[in-house]
Each structure stands twice: as structure tokens, then as C-alpha cells.
Amino acid sequence: MNPIITKILYALLTVFIIWNIGMVLNGFTRKVYARVNKRYGIRIYQPYIDLIKNYSLDTLVYHGVMYYLGPIFRLTSGVGMVLFIPLIYGSEIFSNFSFAGDAILILYFMFFGTLGMALGSNETGQPYSTIGVARGLAQVTAAEVPLVLAFLSVFIQNQSLSISEIVSVQQGGFMHWTMWTNPMATATAMLAYLGSMMRSPFDVVLAPQEIPIGPPTEYHGSFLAILSTNRPIFAVAKTILFVNMFFGGATNWGMFILKATTLYMWSVVTGTIYPRFRVDQSIRFFLKVPLIMGLLSILLLQFM
């Protein structure tokens, strides 16, 4: 078979695997939340049923072209991230389309979906969507600043913009991980990770109690289903990016799932035990502690 076709087929397989990991983690997370609330919780496979149901509901409302494109942009950002991250280190087929300099593209993809979503839900004219978008963009932007600083620190440390190269430097043992060689950048990125996962204490954007769930208020049926198809893909892709940057990457699927799950649980556990920040509080938080830590991590590199 033509090598490029093989590559595309494997890329589709990768997206499918990532989606399934995300769906199971999603169900598991809600089970954890339920157990902390002393409930039995949903069935682990409930997210799958919800997704099928949403795809089989009618869509009625036409709000304009951007309303249709919003979920598509969101899905593009999730799938795009998966396609350009080298998932398994040393594997030809599961490195997908990663190339030298892919880190910049991925940082762009992380923000791209949010922007598309914001344009789409603003077109609905629903005031709750607008409130959600305003809160979401403010908070994501604040979280992105320390995140990019932490990433820059790692780029400078490795003199490279290629994720594959950054992973290869970390091979050869536990103590080679960026976690040990650049602990300040890792700590910054871990705080920014909490901000971008939309979980408590940073989940006021979707605030299910105060405002009806923020940006996706008007999204229903297939639109909502596309958004919830993206949600697990995007979360796992982001987690994998952090594993690659700071925790040595993965050399096989077992290690991949183990590391991804462990890192994913970092946001779940934090979200379970901490109450919610207001947007102004979370922005102040991101622009104080993580920002200073991010700057320090770059400065420290000069003296190491």
C-alpha cells in the first residue's frame, strides 16, 4: 500500500484509540466524583450511551454559519493535536505526522478550538453563552501564559522545537525526565494543566449551577455530540503532550495508558477536593504564582 495511505489509516486508528481511552477515563472520573459524594455513580459506559443518544436527536435551530463551524473547529483542534504529537516514542507508525517544530503548531491548536467555540456560541445570541465565552477566554488566556513560559523553558533547555527530540533526550532512565532536569517548568506546567482541563477549581466557565453550562448552552443534538466527541480526545491529547514534554514520553501502549491515566487523575483529584474559584480569582492566581514560577524557570536555566 502507498505509505501515505498507511500513515492516514494508522492516524485514524490512533484517533479511535485515544477517543476510547478518553471516554473510559471520562466515565471513570464521574464515578470518582460520585464516590466522593457517597453516591454509586453512573455506569462506566454511560458516556457512550449519551453520545449515541445525542447523535440520534433532531437538530432544529439555525443560528448562522459560525454556529455550525464552532463544534467543527473544536473537533479539529482535538484531532489536530493527536495527529501531530508523537504518541509512542520510537514507533514509526504511531509518531503520526510529527515533524521538527511541531510544538509550535500544537500550542496553536490548543487555543484554536476555544476560539472557534467562542465564535460559534457567540453567534447564538444567547446571553448565557456570551457570559461563558467571556469567562472562558479570560481564564484560558490567563492559564496559557504560564503554560507557554513553561514550554519555552523546555524548548530553551533542549535547544529544540521538536517534541520527538525532547522525548528522546529524556530516554535512558527515570532521572532524565524534564521533571527532574527542569522541576520549576514542570511545576508551572502542572498548575497551568489544571487551568486548561476545565475542572474545579477552574470550572466556573461551564458552571453547571450558576449559569446554564456556559458556551454550549444553545448546542444540542449532533452539535453537542460533536462537542462531546472532542472532549475526551482533547483532554487525552493534552495529557499526552504533557507526558511527552515533562515525563519522558511512552515507549509502548501500556506505558502510554499508565502515564496518561496518572496525569489525568491529577486534575480529577484536585478538582474533587478543591472548591471553585471565581474567574477574577483564577486570573489573579495564574498571573501571580504560576507566572512568577514560569519566569523563574527560564531565568534558572541561565545559571544551570
Binding site for another protein (CB under 8 A): 34, 37-43, 46, 49-50, 52-53, 56-61, 128, 208-209, 211-213, 216-221, 224
Shortest spacing between CB 41 and another protein, in angstroms: 6
Residue 213 · residue 286 · CB < 8 Å: no
Shortest spacing between CB 212 and another protein, in angstroms: 4
**Residue 13 Cα distances to 8, 20, 34, 236, angstroms:** 9, 11, 32, 15
Cα(294)–Cα(286) distance, rounded to whole angstroms? 10
Nearer CB in complex with another protein: 29/98: 29
Nearer CB in complex with another protein: 232/249: 232
Nearer CB in complex with another protein: 40/303: 40
Shortest spacing between CB 215 and another protein, in angstroms: 11
Shortest spacing between CB 149 and another protein, in angstroms: 36
Residue 247 · residue 271 · CB < 8 Å: no
Nearer CB in complex with another protein: 159/209: 209
Shortest spacing between CB 225 and another protein, in angstroms: 11
Cα(286)–Cα(246) distance, rounded to whole angstroms? 20
Nearer CB in complex with another protein: 56/171: 56
Using the CB atoms, write b or e for 52-83: b if 16+ within 10 Å.
eebeeeeeeeebeebbebbbebbbbbbbbbbb
